[in-house]
Structure 1
Amino acid sequence: MQLRVLGSSAGGGFPQWNCNCPQCDGVRQGRVRATPRTQSSVAVSADGRDWLLINASPDILTQIRATAQLQPARALRDSGIAAVLLMDAQIDHTAGLLMLRERRSPLPLLATREVLAELEDSLPLTRVLSHYCGVAPHVLPLDGSRFSVPGLPGVVVQALALSSSPPPYSPHRSAPRPGDNIGVLLHNPATGARIFYAPGLGALTPELLELLASCSAVLVDGTFWSADEMQRLGLGTRSAADMGHLPQSGPGGMLEHLARLPASVRKVLIHINNTNPILIEDGAERAALAACGVEVAHDGMTIEF
């Protein structure tokens, strides 16, 4: 099986279109060693032809053009995207659904009841799509059970409720529910290998750490380096925790947790905000990650499992 990173940045991409922080301005001007990134999304396939798209980024058309596997050209109108799984209802994970409207059949859409409700009412993307291809909704179970993806034999998934926040537009923003944000555990039935993917993660429990320790690779929240990153740069008033993210550095940070995992687990940070100094390839923060055996995801990264 294969997981391909289509987009590795947080919302807004890198460089962000309206941002002149040191990373964004530096990469535009060529003053820093950094690689541009599109907004967070991955795709998974058992056969290399039919793919489960996990999160539909606003950059989906750019990502499809950069990924030949998503256009296998089996017919005059065709796509390698067989189904879409949404991990939350954030705009940067759902807006790309509108770009898939030219499908000739309803788009299989896997999400929790909470996310499907947000996309029916608060941000009515599914109602809009009903006037185009339409969607075929599938409710994700949160009881720990494994499930197969329609039209994708060999792809086995578990959905796990995570501690994070629903979107700012949600009426539940101040009172998160278990289905507002999930992680996914991807299984290869043939080898027993597992990958855990969670671009939004506000906390790591002992139970979740135990699960991560049993995986061959984990791709987890790399949004912010420090808890007060946005505040220090004058780009916002909320902390990483306020936005539902666990920063990498500091006591109780992501790096401290990842250090508890066995060396056999491949550790990758994804969903990296444009303000995060780990984007600078020859910077001190990137060196600190390398010393911990932690990688930074990039668009086009491929993981076989």
Structure 2
Amino acid sequence: MFRNNYDNDSVTFSPQGRIFQVEYAAEAVKQGSVVVGLVSKTHAVLVAIKRNAEELSSYQKKLFAVDEHVGLAIAGLTSDARVLSNFMKQQCLSQRLTYDRAMPLETLVSLIGDKAQLNTQHYGKRPYGVGLLVAGVDETGPHLFEFQPSGMTQEMLACAIGARSQMARTYLEKNLDKFAACGREELILHGLRALKETLVQERFLTVENTSVGVVGLKEPGKKGLEFFKVHDGAEVKDWINSLTNDTEVAEEPTEEPAAEGSAAEGSDSMQVDP
């Protein structure tokens, strides 16, 4: 796309105050397959649709564990995501070796935000063409953060990024009040329902293309954390079956038997305002 040479590097502003390289990176995120994240009082959940480039290839991973207490979901260029995830792993490992404790989640997300933003300050570099949803748990409970290629990070209650993510966002906005009180299983099903909204016709969630990542607090009465774990393949079968059963129940027609001695037509009690 021709931009009068204002898009040759990431340190040149256009006359309108825009950095086109950052906008191109954001467009790469929109072309990636959708990922959804949501958080309750006890758990944070990431769900994603995996893509395969062709019939002969395997499905590409979308969820990665960074440390025991944190994981991430990617939308965009996987190679850029690998660079950022390796950086996050190094920071978490350094924190444990130096201070013998887990890296605070907000600090970790701020570090990758600073790393990405530096690429918009130096000539010859480009923004990372990937968006991240970072889910984790610390002393204050579970959290969900969104990372954008511009370097902006923000904490979210629920979020969706990637292709057709607006459909998932609509579902999340409608049900946002329910998430805080949800348990682990219910929160996962909400995430899968939001993910299902983004599918095109004749596509379905299957054990091959669906990934679920969960991290949070253990059940009441048990101390400690439920470490971040990615569920793939047969591990997600029960959740997908539950989702399918919910859809079948919703589609069944409900027929109410006519009551004996029903009111005569034209009765005032049966009139409805137009």
TM-score over 0.5 for the pair: no
Larger radius of gyration: 2
Higher relative contact order (CA 8 A, sep 6+): 2
Please classify the TM superposition score into its range, dividing by the shorter chain length. Answer: under 0.3
TM-score (norm 2): 0.27
Q: Which has the higher helix share?
A: 2
